[in-house]
Amino acid sequence: MGSRMFQVKIMKPVRSVIILLAIAVLGITACAQSSDCFSEKVFCAALVTDTLGIDDHGVNQDSWTGLEESKAGGLVDRIEYIESVDTRDYEKNIAYFADKGFDVIVTSGVGLRDEALRSADRKPDSVFIGMNQPQEEVRPNLIPVIFPEDQMGFVAGVLAARITKTQIVGAVCETSGIDSMWRYCEGFRAGVKYADTDKNINAQVIYNDNGSSEKLFIDEAWGFETGQTLMQRGADVIFAAGGVTGQGALRAAAEAQINAIGTERDQAAVLAGSSPSVVTSILGSTSFEVQNVIRMLQEGNINQLQMGQIRIVPLSQEFPESLAQELETLILALGSGEIRTNVLTTKP
């Protein structure tokens, strides 16, 4: 049943057929529909956030911006969102919009991956867009959008190589057992190597491979101590990835007044006042990808997996415009395949 909603102009024709059959068989009338979103003339899209909420300076906020811009551009007629307070609310929040007849439901963050997959099975009349949600299973009404962590790390590595003065740079990452973390930090290592034509820069990468599973992504103390360790070794630029674990390293860099590079979210905004040394963050271009996928759906042009573009938060003003331009050019070259990171998908 779900595969039929991938016809041109997506699922509205399907819904029309269902409604007509219901009228004929059950004798109900069209006015019994509970929401304008069931109408062929109204295209509805909604967002269900993870527990970080709509103002997370990351995938939630950018996904909502993408929906707002989609509405402003005439791609969507009605948009709404729910901020999830508890992880146990994820499926309930998704079902709320599906039951209201919303055509597209965006779920943001890897934490909703399983709930999005189950919801796609249970609610075949809606299309689900999973932002930053790699999926091992395929569903005809579920479009995962992922971002190339290796490329984000690569851009951070090039930047670190450009701004280091000690010729020592460091990366603090959650466990290498998580593929995305591996790609972030090996991408960083590759970026430093690419930019370091004289082979003078020492790139040190430390993973939280011996950490407790209960503190996965929230081990701020380990991140802070590891950041300090790298700085004691002479690192004057710190790259960090891995949620709150990575933020610990960014705080250590701020305390030592060392330049830092973030990812996953706009870390300078998240840590405003406590980490002024974050010179930039490299993120997935989530708002653009939300609009892009909705446009493809409207045109009936569906890809099961969407590899999203990346972007860089504007650099601190003390850095020259030429450096920002170099990074933007690098991002384009990575996206086109002109430059490759040569980082493996998974740890060997």
Q: Side chain identity at 116, as an amino acid letter? A: A
Question: Dihedral of CA 107/293/98/81: which sign?
Answer: positive
Query: Has residue 176 got a pLDDT over 50?
Result: yes
Backbone angles phi, psi at 107, to 5 degrees: -115, 135
- DSSP, collapsed to helix, strand or coil, labels residue 89 as helix
Q: Does the CA dihedral 194-251-87-63 come out positive or negative? A: negative
Distance from C-alpha of 246 to C-alpha of 249, rounded to nearest angstrom: 5
Provide mean pLDDT across the span 81-85.
Answer: 97
**Alpha helix stretches (DSSP H) within 206-270:** 220-232, 243-255, 267-270
Q: DSSP string of 6-37?
A: GSTTTTHHHHHHHHHHHHHHH---GGG-S-GG
The DSSP line for 287-336 is: HHHHHHHHHHHHHT---SSEE--EEEPPPPTTS-HHHHHHHHHHHHHHHH
Q: Which two tokens stand for residue 133?
A: 């949600």
Are 280 and 261 in contact by the 8 Å Cβ rule? The answer is yes
Predicted confidence band at 7 (pLDDT cuts at 50, 70, 90)? Answer: very low
Closest Cα partner for 84 from 120, 112, 114, 104? 112
- Is the confidence at residue 49, as pLDDT, over 80? yes
Interval 100-113: pLDDT, tens: 999 999 999 989 99
What confidence category does residue 304 fall into, taking pLDDT thresholds of 50, 70 and 90? confident
DSSP 42-76: --EEEEE--TT-TTSSSHHHHHHHHHHHHHHTTS-
Q: Are strands 278-284 and 310-312 parallel, antiparallel or unpaired?
A: antiparallel
Alpha-carbon dihedral angle through residues 20, 21, 26, 29, given to the nearest 10 degrees:
-10
pLDDT in tens, 243-282: 999 999 999 999 999 999 999 999 999 988 666 789 999 9
Stated pTM of the model: 0.85
> What are the structural domains of the chain?
2-146+286-307 (3.40.50.2300), 149-284+317-336 (3.40.50.2300)
Computed from CA positions of residues 282, 283, 287, 290, in that sequence, does the dihedral angle turn out positive or negative?
positive
What pLDDT is recorded for position 6?
39
Do you know the residue count of the chain? 348
- Give the model confidence (pLDDT) of 120-169 as tens digits: 999 999 999 999 998 889 999 999 999 999 999 999 999 999 999 999 99
Residue reference for tokens 């004057």: 236
Nearest to 102 by CA among 121, 76, 83: 76
CB hemisphere CA count around 152 (13 angstroms) = 32
pLDDT given at position 148: 97
